[in-house]
Amino acid sequence: MGRMLIALAARDSGHKIVGAVEARGMDTVGSDAGATAGIGSIGVRISDDYGAVARRGTVTLDFTNAAASLEHLEAAVKNDSAIVIGSTGFSADQERRAREIAPRIRTVIAPNMSVGINVLMKLAEQVAAILPDFDAEIVEIHHRTKVDAPSGTALGLGRAIAAARGIDLVSNAVHGREGITGVRPANSIAMMALRAGDAVGDHTVIFGGPGERLELIHRAQSREGLARGALRAAAWLENQPPGLYTMRDVLNL
Distance CA 223, CA 37 (A): 14
The answer to whether 172 touches 153, Cβ cutoff 8 Å, is no
Catalytic option among 15, 16, 78, 142 = 142
* 78 is a catalytic site residue: no
Pairing of strands 59-62, 46-47: unpaired
**Three-state DSSP class for 72?**
helix
- The beta strands (E) that lie in the chain are given as 20-21, 46-47, 59-62, 82-85, 106-109, 135-142, 173-174, 189-195, 202-209, 212-219, 243-245
Please provide residue 61's backbone torsions phi and psi, each rounded to the nearest 5 degrees: -105, 110
| Rounded distance between C-alpha atoms, residue 206 and residue 209, angstroms | 10
Q: Roughly what angle, to the nearest 10 degrees, separates helices 92-101 and 66-79? A: 20
What's 111's DSSP letter? S
Catalytic residue among 146, 175, 203, 218: 146
> Is 146 one of the catalytic residues?
yes
Q: How far apart are CA 87 and CA 85, in angstroms?
A: 6
Q: Which residues are catalytic, by number?
A: 142, 146
